[in-house]
Amino acid sequence: MSSPNSKRAIIGIILIALGTIFLLDNMGYDMYLPYYLFSWPAVFVVLGIINLLSGNSRSSLIFFGLAAIFYLHHYNVVRIGEIWPVVLIIIGLSFIFRRRGQARNISESNDDIIDEVAIFGGTEKKFVSEKFQGGKITCLFGGSEIDLRGSKAQDGAVIEVFCMFGGVELTLPEDWKVNMNATAIFGGFSDARKNVSETPSATVHIKGFTMFGGGELKN
């Protein structure tokens, strides 16, 4: 079983590699790199892979589709100006039919540590851990809904939340005592829980940073 940080490390390495290559190209270094591997359409491919690893298959398909359209445009197979209205219609229909005709696809995990990443997409996950230890949640132009009501926390567990142009929603058991330390810049982090137990089973620490985004605790 891979470590909890392996997925985050892979995503970081991919983004650093792409950023370095684009930076060297902007500085005038001729990288002699093939267009299909190192171009702006390739960024959509990377975003699609990131969302696929994060369990957000719908967003990944949208990014893969956008990448395909830009590649076809580059090779003069289609013209973006002719088909972009169709793309908007398809994306709009995907939102409508997901809401009306499909159940919410909430994955379940018995991992003891959270390692959620939502970039240009969203994730919904339910944790049912007997020894929950905390973890990390990162949202960048995306959002995460995490349900921890089926978990039993170890006393002193720490959840680190980072949101930029995104948001996170944590649904917690009523018998958890929460110490929250959050910094918000043009955003907010609120505790909307009700009927919290006066005899907590564990104390959980939540450390949050939000910029142009927000977070909410509820039960």
Q: How far is CA 216 from CA 44, 46, 171, 176, in A?
A: 30, 29, 8, 15
Q: Output Rg (C-alpha) for the chain, integer angstroms.
A: 20
Rounded to an integer, what distance in angstroms lies between the CA atom of residue 24 and that of residue 151?
Answer: 47
Rounded to an integer, what distance in angstroms lies between the CA atom of residue 101 and that of residue 195?
Answer: 34
Residue 31's pLDDT is what? Answer: 60
Q: How far is CA 192 from CA 82, 214, 215, in A?
A: 47, 13, 10
Rounded to an integer, what distance in angstroms lies between the CA atom of residue 184 and that of residue 194?
Answer: 22
Residue 101's pLDDT is what? Answer: 42
| DSSP-based three-state secondary structure for 56 | coil
Residue 205's pLDDT is what? Answer: 92
Mean pLDDT by 10 residues, the chain (219 residues): 55 73 72 63 77 67 78 74 68 58 63 82 84 87 85 90 85 88 82 82 88 82
Q: Could you tell me the residue ranges of all domains in the chain? A: 6-101, 107-218
Residue 52's pLDDT is what? Answer: 73
Residue 75's pLDDT is what? Answer: 74
